[in-house]
């Protein structure tokens, strides 16, 4: 019984973390900014790397949460989370284009979001394999 209670409390805490992270990145994406400064003359624009990292963490957290609830992540669940994360990225870009001053939609941002989500999935699978072995 105690293990069940601990797992429920743990999954609730993880859900809170997932929701807080999702809300924070939504706020960050919807804040009007003039320009992201260029750092170190990187060949890849820093904002694309930020998108990759944000979506890597977003996907990883939600996969971790769903895994804690279901005790396993089936391929259809993984696919659904990837689609939802990608859909979230597309919706953010559309809102930026039509509702946020000084921001606009970029296809490369959505591609960076997708790359981040895929990396988050790979990171999750590696993390899960290390824990189970």
Residue 79 lies in a domain: yes
Please give the tally of structural domains in the chain.
Answer: 1
pLDDT of residue 1: 41
Neighbours of 113 (CB within 10 A): 26
pLDDT tens digit sequence for 6-24: 554 568 889 999 999 999 9
* Residue 92 resides in a domain: yes
Question: Around Cβ 27, how many Cβ atoms within 10 Å?
Answer: 9
Residues in the chain: 133
What's the pLDDT at 40?
55
Q: Does some domain include residue 83?
A: yes
pLDDT at 124 over 60: yes
Average pLDDT over residues 90-97: 93
Is 109 contained in some domain? yes
- Residue 123, domain extent: 2-30+45-132
Rounded Cα distance between 124 and 126, Å, is 5
19: in domain: yes
Asked if the structure places residue 40 within a domain, the reply is no
**What pLDDT, in 10s, does the model give residues 71-80?**
877 899 999 9
Judge whether 50 lies within some domain.
yes
Domain membership flag for residue 39: no
Task: Give the three-state DSSP class for 34.
Answer: coil
Looking at per-residue confidence, does 52 or 103 come out higher?
52
């Amino acid at each position: 019984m105690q293990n069940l209670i601990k797992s429920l409390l743990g999954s609730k805490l993880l859900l809170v973390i997932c929701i807080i992270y999702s809300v924070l990145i939504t706020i960050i994406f919807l804040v009007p900014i003039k320009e992201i400064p260029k750092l170190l003359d990187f060949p890849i624009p820093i904002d694309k790397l930020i998108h990759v990292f944000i979506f890597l963490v977003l996907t990883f957290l939600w996969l971790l949460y769903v895994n804690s609830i279901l005790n396993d992540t089936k391929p259809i669940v993984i696919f659904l989370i990837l689609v939802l994360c990608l859909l979230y990225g597309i919706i953010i870009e559309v809102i930026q284009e039509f509702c946020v001053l000084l921001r606009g939609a970029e296809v490369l941002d959505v591609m960076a979001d997708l790359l981040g989500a895929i990396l988050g999935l790979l990171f999750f699978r590696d993390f899960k394999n290390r824990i189970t072995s």
